[in-house]
Chain A
C-alpha cells in the first residue's frame, strides 16, 4: 500500500506439557534466549519508552493490573533477576523485536509498507518462536514446550495481538477516537479468530453463548485509556510515537485477534489502513454508536449474523452496513491507487457480501468461520452437544489446538499443509522473511546494522541505534526515518559503509 508504516506485535501463549507449577516468567525468558547461539547481551534501550504517557496530554502514575496479576506481581518481586535479563530483548536479523513481554514470548514485526511484507514477516515470527520452543524443549530436559497464537486461556486471562499504524500528529486525538470507533467495533465480523465460550466478569458458567466471533471482545471495558492489562480500551491512548512526536502519532490498536489465516491478517490491516486514509481526509462515513463497548460484545456473541448496532440517535443499523459504508467510501477515493489497495478493496467487499449471504465462502480466509467449520465437523462426527459443558470443554480444546504452532499438532496448520486455506504469501517469501528485513523502511537499517556491525551496536530501540565507533558512542537517530525517501537515504548509507566508522561519518557529514 506503500503510504503508511504498519506492524504487528503478537504475544504467544506458552505451555509445557507434563510440568506443574511452571514459572512462566522464567520459561518465557529462557525460550527467547533459545534464539541465540551466544550468551544474551542486554542492548534494548528502555530509557526511550514510556507506556504511561497518554495522547490526551497527561501521564498516569502507574498502569493498572487485574487482581490475579497483582498477586503474581507480588511474587515476581521476590525474583532476583534484573528486568533487562527477564525481558531478554532481542532485535533479530529481519529487523523484528523478540522478547519476553511480561510472561509471554512476543514477536513484533519491523515496520512495513506493504501487506505482503507484513504477512510474510508475521508468519516468519511463528517459525522463529517455534524454533525457540523446540530448542527449549531440548534444553529443559522434561516436558514439551508448546506455543499458541491465540488471545485467551478461556479463564479470563487475555494477551494481545496489537497493530501499529503511523498517523500525522495534526489530527486531534479525540477525532481519531470517535472517527475510528464504528470501524473498530465492527471489524471483527471478518477479522475475529473465533472462540468457544464466553469470559469476563459477571459471565455465568451456564451462559448460553457457545461460540463467538472474537477471542478478545470479552475483554474491552472502556472507550479510551492508556491501560492494556485490565479495563482495556477500544482505543489505546499510549503516546509513544517512536518517531518525531511533533509530527506523528503511533496508533496502537489493541482490539484485534491474532489471526492464523493470512487473508485475515492482510484484510484486517489493509482495511484499517484505508480507513485511516479516510480519517486523514476527513472522509469517514458518519456513524456514532450508542454504546461502543456493549456493541463489541453483542456483535461478537451474535452467531445469527444479524449484528444489530444501535446508533447514538437511536436508529438501528448493523455491523455489515457500517463496514459496507467504510468500504464504499474507501473504494470511491482509493480504487486504482495501487495493486494492494485494489486487492484489499476487492477482498473486503467480497467478504462483506459473503458474510451476508454465504459465509462458508470465507472458509480458509476468516478464522472464526474456518474454526467453527472444523468444530462442527468434529462435533457431528463425535456426536457432541454444544450445550453439554463436558462436550463444550472438548470443543474448547479443539479451539486451542487450532492455534497450536506445531505443524504436527496444530489444526489450522494441518489445513494449510493440505492446501485448504488461502495463502497471501508463498513459503519462499516467509522463509526469506526469517532473516531479511523489509527493504523500504527503517526496519532494514535496524536489521542490517546488526548483521553488518553487531559488535559495534551498543544499544538500540525502535527509533535509534547507538554505535561504538573510534572509541566513542555515536547515535543514529531514526525518528525521522519513517518515510520512504528518508529510509532510502539511511539504508543506502548503511549498504555503502564498509566500517561502522564510515557509517557514523556519513550521518555526521
Chain B
C-alpha cells in the first residue's frame, strides 16, 4: 500500500502555454515538472494529526 501513491501516472500533459518559451511573459499558466511524493513521509505526517483536531475546530459563521 505504501507504494500506492508512487505508482500513479504523474507524467505532465503538456499544453500550449507550457510548451511556450520559458521567458515569454505573455504566455498562459504553466506548471513545472511533476515529481513523485514520498508516501512514507506523508503517512508519518498524517499519523501526527490529532484524531480530535476537527472536533476542537469550531468557527463562527462567515460569509
Instruction: Name the B residues within 8 Å of A419 (CB-CB).
Output: 32-37
Could you name 20 residue pairs across A and B whose Cβ atoms are closer than 8 Å?
A15-B56, A15-B57, A66-B61, A114-B28, A152-B59, A154-B57, A159-B63, A162-B63, A254-B63, A263-B31, A266-B29, A343-B16, A377-B4, A393-B51, A393-B55, A394-B51, A397-B50, A398-B46, A401-B53, A424-B30
**Max chain A C-beta neighbours (<10 A), residue from B2, B31, B35, B61:** B61
- Are A102 and B62 neighbours in the complex by a CB distance under 8 Å? yes
Q: In the complex, which residues of chain B have a beta carbon less than 8 angstroms from the beta carbon of A68?
A: 60-61
* Listed residue (A262, A339, A382, A400) with the most chain B CB atoms within 10 angstroms of its CB: A339
A393-B52 CB under 8 A given contacts A154-B57, A157-B58, A343-B16:
yes
Which of A295-303, A359-367, A466-474, A478-486 forms part of the interface with chain B? A359-367
Residues of B within 8 A of A396 (CB): 54
Contact: A339 with B45, CB < 8 Å?
A: no
CB distance from B12 to the nearest CB of A (A): 8
Contact-residue size bin, chain A (C-beta under 8 Å from the other chain):
35 or more
Interface set, chain B 3-52, CB cutoff 8 A to A: 4-5, 8-10, 12-13, 15-17, 20, 26-39, 41-43, 45-47, 49-52
Closest to B18 in A: A343
Decide if A93 is an interface residue (CB 8 Å cutoff).
no
The interface size bin for chain B is 35 or more
Interface string of A47-73 (1 = CB under 8 A from B): 000000000000000000110110010
Q: Is the CB–CB distance between A420 and B59 below 8 Å? A: no
Contact of B60 among A24, A162, A263 (CB under 8 A): A24
Instruction: Check A153 against B51 for contact (C-beta < 8 Å).
Output: no
Alpha-carbon distance A183/B38, docked complex (angstroms) = 37
Question: What secondary structure prevails in chain B residues at the interface with A?
Answer: loop
CB-CB nearest in chain A for B14: A346
B interface residues with partner A (beta carbon < 8 Å): 1-2, 4-5, 8-10, 12-13, 15-17, 20, 26-39, 41-43, 45-47, 49-63
Contacts of B50 in A (CB 8 A): 397
A381 touches B43 (CB 8 A): yes
Quick one: given A15-B57, A360-B8, A363-B10, are A102 and B29 in contact (CB under 8 Å)? no
CB of A363 within 8 A of CB of B8, answer yes
**8 Å CB contact of A422 from B5, B31, B42:** B31
Q: Does A229 belong to the interface (CB within 8 Å)? A: yes
Instruction: Flag whether A328 is at the interface (Cβ < 8 A).
Output: no
The reply to whether the CB of A228 lies closer than 8 angstroms to some CB of chain B is yes
The answer to whether A159 and B5 touch across the interface, beta carbons within 8 angstroms, is no
Q: Is the CB of B17 within 8 A of A422?
A: no
* Residues of B with C-beta under 8 A to A102: 60, 62-63
**Nearest CB in chain A: distance from B46 CB, A:** 5
Of the residues A157, A360, A393, A426, contact of B54 by C-beta under 8 Å:
A393
